[in-house]
Structure 1
């Protein structure tokens, strides 16, 4: 039942003096108590809306006897005009002045003195005066072992039948176990007049959780939207997650707004996993998102329906894979705080990606004025495109500038040449930025007069990569490039150094590059040699200890080499055969000294 429907039932319940028992059940943290207290407090000033004049809220957390319940009712009873206010000595004094004075006040003075017998006798005597009032019991599932659910429901029946009270019970009935659960189920229909299941939507829970919480509205909107997307309906969990987001937000002020948005996306997910592990995917499952496995590995795995559901959930949520920054955020969620230096170490990279995304969006918006409007003039459209391109030129590729050059030339605007030269200057040292193969693949042509210029730039843009850069760029450029050829000549000890130096997202990229051709039927010479040397390096690393041996075999390169030796994998084509033979020979030569 939604928040509004439950609120309507509460209003109907309070509108009469008729003795009744209302039960509001719901999962932990969904806002049952908040919803009840907000509703009754909003109605307390209207005598027609709240008929009875006295009210007590009693938490059963840790309570072990009915006499303790009676004492709690006495100590927490206030007049209708103070419903929802903090209980203080002054409020109790005010209640006594307005209610029974002499006898009740005198007996209450005896509560703190005397032994257990006197206490019980006084409480029993005073409880006779608790009549015709509203009493709310909360946390039945958290009572002490000495008090049974049957005792509580029996006392509620007494309050209704003998003391003419209106009684409300708030609880998470699913948390009741064993005999308490059996008693609750048995007594429920006999004692309770109105039985409600409180199950607010994720939207309602987010609203309850974030209303009145200190913090920026934009931040609340971000957290609320992400919590709703995951279907989080626990008010307390959402508040805990918001606290974490509020902690990290000041640490991200120096970065693009998109960085904060990306961080919130991760923290809401990690917070859900941390605070509600019984409902969310395991944090280890999320941590491993993006871990490497070949297509063959994936096909060999037995289908896991639960994990398949979580994969879809994460995909729909917009969570792709876990990178190094995510690991820092996971740790921050577990610790309850974040360190500026840890955030800065990773946020800069995300900031750069956000800058590139923002540049693409700006250019798309400028193009929209050309494609989807008849209002803007030619000068206005071209000025917008030119301004956007020149401001963000470092984020655009060759296809982008050629498309703009074509348009500006066709319309007789000489700024086309200025744009191309600016692009050439900014990107002159970036590898493969002038590689035209991707443009041709998508059917885009280069003007004839620029083909020679682009070819010259492409030739001059090949950088002198360091060994580390070769490994880091392999995934993006592939084996069929100069990078693959050069890596095939790098000594095995350098492979070992690189593989043991890098970790996290960078090692992920290196692994993807080295294993990219594992399932290729006819890998080229460079590919075979690189995988052979990587396998030898992994073998060396694996000899350090059994744990590393287990880790290295997960890459599948060592097994791939073994299958080549046994002939289980055949390398087609003369070039491939020669490459395999050469690789095996080098393998033998390199293994000998390192095994000594």
Structure 2
């Protein structure tokens, strides 16, 4: 049943004062409660609600019929404030109205003392008597407490209709366990039963109708993945709204990427656990050139299905900005500085890509045709690579090199590696394989070897002394610091410790030895401590006093 038909039926129901009971059934999460409240508010705005009072009650955790009756009473609001949740003020008005019906003396007692003290079991007992001509929405029937029977809820609904002239609405999750009594008695109780089964386009419209610009961008994407769960759609909307202020200084393509990825990642993260046809988030974020048919890696049958889904959605590669977006799906927030930094890098690439002969356009010759155009692909990529080298990631470099090698263009493959390193040699961390190889996509042996050599050459310009000057006495250091210290020889540590005079000496020695004291120290960290200790042992052998000095650092010299 379409949403428009559901809406018309609800409007017709609300516009009449005829006592009747309606049930709205649908899958969990498709927006029954969301839509009911939305249509109710719209009907109120259009003056299409006949009855004067409304009460919404969730049966979640309600364990008795008396508690249910009282919950209806305490949640009653006037038609004029139907879009306001019941609160202590509305409850006070309901209670005062109830006491007025039992005489001015009772009213004076209530007004003259705190509400909690005035409240009595008598009010609870008589509150149900005031429920006349009220619209009552009963939600979460399948989540009621164990002490409340569905047949009793349906019986009370019939009483409210027949004796209290009320209009009752049930919101039900179709197919849930525990609704056998509803199915058994519904023909005797329910006057109208609506099947709420919106398609993905309708769900997107329900979730995003308040913002046309978001609906146009988000609706098409969420519908293409078949997302019908309103909660997930609203989670996506929330993250998109959080991201937009961070994207205002960037090219529109960055906003498109963020929205495109957030929709896909949300669908994957929240839905893949219950549907094996939906690719897991870890699979999506590890998607690199190996999944484009380049390289030796072969997907299994499940992965082939997932790759077809991702290709249909228009998702090809994961970059560093995407990784931050995936993390935001899990945490619910963005690390703003990191977000802007990664978005800025992508933005520079977008600007460069808009120029004629851009690298991304060159790759279109590979993606968008089955023509026998290998030479053209290689030549365009080769020329464009040299022009756009500044904006190309190591992953993209590896993908291009791999393609060149498969097309027997090894010479050009080696050449673009050298061009890349020469043009970007000042960006030291770009060549740190531990940092850049997120997905294991940088696997070409020549790239790995040359990157490692470039990185080692770049960071070893700094001396062990300058590193220790920065980190001695502190708890933090960066990976570059470890590499410098691990590549400092025993003789260099000897010279450093012997030449250093003053208070820094002890902190230098302690800093080096601490690297090996952690129970989970890496091999690189252990190497720092081993070399520093070896230098200290040499120093200890030079004189009795130096032997004593070295021992104070906890170096055991007895077996040396």
CA–CA distance in structure 1, aligned partners of residues 305 and 413 of structure 2: 38
SS in 2 for 1:25: strand
1:30 aligned partner: 30
Counterpart in the other structure of 1:482: 411
In the other structure, the counterpart of 2:143 is 142
Question: Pick from 310, 322, 327: which aligns with 2:318?
Answer: 322
**Structure 1 residue 137 displacement after superposition:** 0.9
Deviations 1:117-168 (A, max 9, x none): x62x543333133233221111223333332333322322232233332110
Partner deviation per Cα, 1:432-478 (whole Å, 9 max, x = no partner): xxxx9935999x9xxxxxxxxxxxx99x99x9xxxx99985633543
Match of 1:76 in 2: 75
| Deviations 1:42-82 (CA, angstroms, capped at 9, x unpaired) | 334777x4333332221223222211111111112233333
**Which whole-Å CA distance do the structure 2 matches of 1:469 and 1:357 have between them?**
17
Aligned to 1:549: none
Q: What is the aligned partner in structure 1 of residue 155 from structure 2?
A: 154
Question: Equivalent of 1:203, from 201, 204, 222?
Answer: 201
Within 5 A, what are the aligned runs for 1:327-342?
327-342=323-338
User: Do the aligned partners of 2:294 and 2:402 also contact (CA within 8 Å) in 1?
Assistant: no
Distance across 2 between alignment mates of 1:219 and 1:129: 44
CA distance in 2, matches of 1:438, 1:101: 91
Partner of 2:170: 169
- Three-state SS of the structure 1 residue aligned to 2:146 is coil
Match of 1:21 in 2: 21
How far did residue 326 of structure 1 move? Answer: 2.1
2: CA distance between counterparts of 1:153 and 1:321? 54
* Structure 2 unaligned blocks of 5 or more: 366-372, 418-430, 449-560
Of the structure 1 ranges 243-252 and 69-78, higher mean CA displacement relative to structure 2 is found in 243-252
The reply to whether residue 351 of structure 1 matches residue 347 of structure 2 is yes
| Residue in 2 that maps onto 1:494 | none
1:135-534 paired onto structure 2 within 5 Å: 135-174=136-175, 176-177=176-177, 180-212=178-210, 218-219=213-214, 221-277=216-272, 278=274, 280-290=278-288, 292=290, 303-304=301-302, 308-360=304-356, 438-439=375-376, 472=398, 474-475=401-402, 477-478=404-405, 480-482=409-411, 501=434, 503-504=436-437, 507-511=440-444
Paired with 1:228 and 1:76, the residues of 2 have a C-alpha distance of 36
3-state SS in 1 of match to 2:354: helix
- Taking the aligned partners of 2:445 and 2:214, their CA distance within structure 1 comes to 36
* CA distance in 1 between partners of 2:396 and 2:207 (Å): 50
Paired with 1:393 and 1:14, the residues of 2 have a C-alpha distance of: 60
SS of the residue corresponding to residue 232 of structure 1 reads coil
State how far apart, in whole Å, the 2-side matches of 1:393 and 1:295 are.
Answer: 21
CA drift of 1:95 comes to 5.6
Match of 2:49 in 1: 50
1:65 aligns with 2:64: yes
Instruction: Tell me the equivalent position of 2:486.
Output: none
Q: Could you tell me the TM-score, scaled by structure 1's length?
A: 0.58
| Partners of 1:64 and 1:144 within 8 A in 2 | yes
TM-superposed deviation, 1:104: 8.0
Q: Secondary structure at the match of 1:508?
A: coil
How far 1:512 sits from its partner (Å)? 9.7
SS at structure 2 position matched to 1:510: coil
The count of residues paired between Structure 1 and Structure 2 equals 409
Matched residues in 2 for 1:23 and 1:470: separation? 56
Q: 1:316 & 1:437 partners in 2: Cα distance? A: 25
Secondary structure at 1:23 match in 2? strand
Q: Which residue of 2 aligns with 1:363?
A: none
Who is 1:523 aligned against?
Answer: none
Distance in structure 2 (CA, Å) of the matches to 1:91 and 1:13: 25
What's the secondary structure of 1:16's corresponding residue? Answer: coil
The structural deviation recorded for 1:89 is 4.7
Runs of 4+ residues deviating >6 angstroms: 96-100, 293-299, 392-397, 468-471, 485-488, 512-515
CA contact (8 A) 1:292 1:508 kept: yes
Q: Deviations over 1:4-52 (max 9, x none)?
A: 11111112223333322111122333332232223333334777x4333
TM-score normalized with structure 2 length? 0.61
Distance verdict in 2 for CA 1:210–1:487, change over 3 Å:
closer
> How big is each residue's C-alpha offset from its partner over 1:197-246, in whole Å with a ceiling of 9 and x where there is no partner?
21223223223223446xxx645532333222222222222221121122
Would you say the 8 A contact 1:141–1:173 is kept in 2?
A: no
